[in-house]
Structure 1
Amino acid sequence: MSGAADERDRIRAAMDRILTGRPERSNGALTVVALALEAGVPRNALTQRHLDLKNEFYAKVKERGHPTDVETRLRKQVVRLKELRQKDKAELEQLRADVQGLVRVVNQLTVENRQLRDFMSTPDPVVRVLPVQHTRPQHD
């Protein structure tokens, strides 16, 4: 038997073991990595030389109705990223609102500062010290 035929036989046998839940060399995950490990072949044997077997494996996995481990992991990651995106979006909206408020305060303070400087530049400005108001806690 040639090396390629032997390799294909080992891949098919590994496919059967994984799909029936009886892995011997791998963790039994429904991935090309696990299939290659189970068959005792390098991963590139499935991704380059035996694409038909890789596609057949994924087709059988899909027929079972169970998502692959990679798909399950990626779906969880997509959900997490969408949640993070929503959180970031809400935070960005709050920051934009805060910036607008701060711009208004800076503009108001700029006007008041200009008025105060104009007033202080007049001859003999009258400056009065206002009493400091202390806030006291209210008791019910």
Structure 2
Amino acid sequence: MTPALAERARIRAAMDRILAGTPQHSNGALTIVALAQEAQVPRNALTQRHPDLKNDFYAKVKERGQPTDSERRLRKKITKLKELRAANKEQLAQLATDVENLVRVVNQLTLENRQLRRQLATPGPIVRLLPAQPQPPGR
């Protein structure tokens, strides 16, 4: 048997073991990386020398109706990103409300500041306190 045929046979046997749920050399994930580990071949053997076997493996995984590990990871990541996006949306809404409130406060303080400056600029009557007269004793 030629080396290429022996490699193809190892890949097919590894494919059968992974799909049967009895991996010997890998974690049994439904990925090309796990298939290459299971077949004990480099990953590029599947991506470059035997892409038909890679496509066959993916087709069999799809027939089973089970999502691949990478699809599961991506779905989890999508869920997490959607949760983060919702949290960010809430935070942005709160920040927008805070900005509106701060603008109102700044406007109010600006008006009060103008009024106080006008009061300081216009002199009013000066009131002075006179010292109290001391009371004589006994009174």
| Same-fold status (TM-score > 0.5) | yes
Q: How far is 1:5 from its partner? A: 2.0
- For 1:9, the equivalent position in structure 2 comes to 9
- For 2:87, the equivalent position in structure 1 comes to 87
Residues 5 and 113 from structure 1, CA distance in 2 versus in 1: closer, same or farther, beyond 3 angstroms?
A: same
Q: How far is 1:2 from its partner? A: 2.5
Find the residue that maps to 1:30 and give its secondary structure: coil
Distance of 2:97 and 2:8 partners within structure 1: 63
Distance of 2:105 and 2:125 partners within structure 1: 26
- Conservation of the 8 A alpha-carbon contact between 1:18 and 1:35: yes
Q: How far is 1:125 from its partner? A: 7.0
Distance of 2:48 and 2:89 partners within structure 1: 42
Q: Deviations over 1:48-105 (max 9, x none)?
A: 2221111110110010011111111111111111011011101101101110111111
Find the residue that maps to 2:30 and give its secondary structure: coil
Residues 118 and 125 from structure 1, CA distance in 2 versus in 1: closer, same or farther, beyond 3 angstroms?
A: farther
- For 2:38, the equivalent position in structure 1 comes to 38
5+ residue gaps, structure 1, are 127-140
Alignment of 1:104-119 (within 5 A): 104-119=104-119
Count of residues in correspondence between the two structures:
126
- For 2:20, the equivalent position in structure 1 comes to 20
RMSD: 1.4
Return the TM-score normalized by structure 1.
Answer: 0.84
Distance of 1:84 and 1:124 partners within structure 2: 60
Q: Deviations over 1:15-64 (max 9, x none)?
A: 01100111110111111111000001111211222211111101100100
Find the residue that maps to 2:93 and give its secondary structure: helix
5+ residue gaps, structure 2, are 127-139
Q: How far is 1:124 from its partner? A: 3.6
Residues 125 and 57 from structure 1, CA distance in 2 versus in 1: closer, same or farther, beyond 3 angstroms?
A: farther
Alignment of 1:24-103 (within 5 A): 24-103=24-103
- Conservation of the 8 A alpha-carbon contact between 1:19 and 1:61: yes
Q: How far is 1:3 from its partner? A: 2.3
Runs ≥4 in structure 1, deviation > 4 angstroms?
A: none
